[in-house]
A and B are shown apart, each in its own frame.
Chain A
Amino acid sequence: MTTPLSLVLFSGTEDKLHAAATLAAGAAAMGRPVNVLLQYWALDAFRADRIGSGGRLAFEADPEAPADHAALPWVETLRMAKELGDVQIRACAGSLDYLGLDVSELDPLVDSAGGIAAFFADAEDGPITFI
């Protein structure tokens, strides 16, 4: 059994979501299960009414850096990853509560709301990356 790629997405900035989507898509293509937990500002970025509408960059980003026009938007990269592999995206129940959101208000990319134990169960004692 291949160890899943387990990602905790905390940041809602476009650059970090793009980097995370690239990791998820690569792992999915390689046949690795991908286990994603959305917390706080990453969860907020998956709201159906604002997903993919652009947003801020991380504070360390260089505003003068050229945009990568060849790259797929992160939302499309994640959709392809889900189409091509085993990618589970879970909304952290605590963050939903903090943001006053219901899972029905999120983009269909999000499979379900879930607790931290379900995320750790899917991580199968493998490493967890926090982005």
Chain B
Amino acid sequence: MSTLAPSELAGLAADTVVDARGAACPGPLLDAKRAMATIPVGAVVELWSTDPVTKVDVEAWSTKVGHAYLGAAEADGYDRVFVRRGR
């Protein structure tokens, strides 16, 4: 699944935002998985993380378990990582 362009990500309205800033691996990934259970299929989680590996990890996880990794946008000192629930 190809990711969205930065301009598309910037305009994306997530259904839920998870602030995992300050947490180290695997904290942000576990927070993303927990959040996914709270939203319907097709909805989007926006995960905030200061851990630079989170976006790589979340992409691998999404691909493995059937969600759509939409991409990551850099914010002020952290990444905004977007995933659409796939199943």
Q: Hey, which bits of chain A sit against chain B, CB under 8 A?
A: 22, 25-26, 29-31, 68, 70-72, 77, 80-81, 83-84
Contacts and interface: CB of A to CB of B under 8 A. Distances in A.
A102 to B, nearest CB: 31
B23 A81 contact: no
Chain A residues touching B, majority SS: helix
Contact of B26 (A25, A31, A68, A83): A25
Per DSSP, chain B at the interface is: helix
A31 B64 contact: yes
Contacts of A77: 26-27, 30
Contact of A83 (B34, B51, B64): B34
A18 B51 CA distance: 18
A107 B17 CA distance: 33
Given A70-B22, A77-B26, A80-B34, 18 more contacts: A22-B25, A26-B26, A29-B30, A29-B33, A30-B60, A30-B64, A30-B65, A68-B24, A70-B23, A70-B27, A70-B51, A71-B24, A71-B27, A72-B27, A77-B27, A77-B30, A81-B30, A84-B33
